[in-house]
Amino acid sequence: EAQVTQNPRYLITVTGKKLTVTCSQNMNHEYMSWYRQDPGLGLRQIYYSMNVEVTDKGDVPEGYKVSRKEKRNFPLILESPSPNQTSLYFCASSSGSAGGSQNIQYFGAGTRLSVL
């Protein structure tokens, strides 16, 4: 089954304690993205990756890091989490390239993060 898998689904942590949210896709997609979703603000892109070792900032990258060492994995790293990073996070993948159906985003189930 084609899917994007995020772990963990729920996470409660304290300010300053480094954490990693994993994301893996089995569709051989080139593009992967991380979004955060906050009430009234919609999905905002944090970082995206166009292929292995190629990443770029999205709209709200501050306080986050990513890496793309393998095509299927795109972990999100919070080096020193703060309470304003409490949010619902989604990983997504797509097959990329210009136009057409390739730009459809496939989302994971989400990770609900609380930073105390």
Partner 1 sequence: SQKIEQNSEALNIQEGKTATLTCNYTNYSPAYLQWYRQDPGRGPVFLLLIRENEKEKRKERLKVTFDTTLKQSLFHITASQPADSATYLCALDISGGYNKLIFGAGTRLAVHP
Cα–Cα distance for residue pair 32/74, rounded to 1 Å: 7
Q: What residues between 76 and 115 interact with partner 1 by CB under 8 A?
A: 90, 92, 94, 96-101, 103-110
Distances (CA, A) of 98 to 57, 95, 102: 19, 10, 8
CB nearer to partner 1: pick between 15 and 28: 28
Residue 86, helix vs strand vs coil: coil
C-beta separation of 35 from 45 below 8 A: yes
Cα–Cα distance for residue pair 27/11, rounded to 1 Å: 26
- By CB under 8 A, tell whether 12 contacts partner 1: no
CB nearer to partner 1: pick between 69 and 100: 100
CB nearer to partner 1: pick between 4 and 113: 4
**Contact code string over 61-80 relative to partner 1, x by CB under 8 A:** --------------------
Neighbour count for residue 44 (Cβ, 10 Å): 14
Give the residues lining the site for partner 1 (CB under 8 A).
Answer: 4, 31, 33, 35, 40-45, 48, 50, 59, 90, 92, 94, 96-101, 103-110
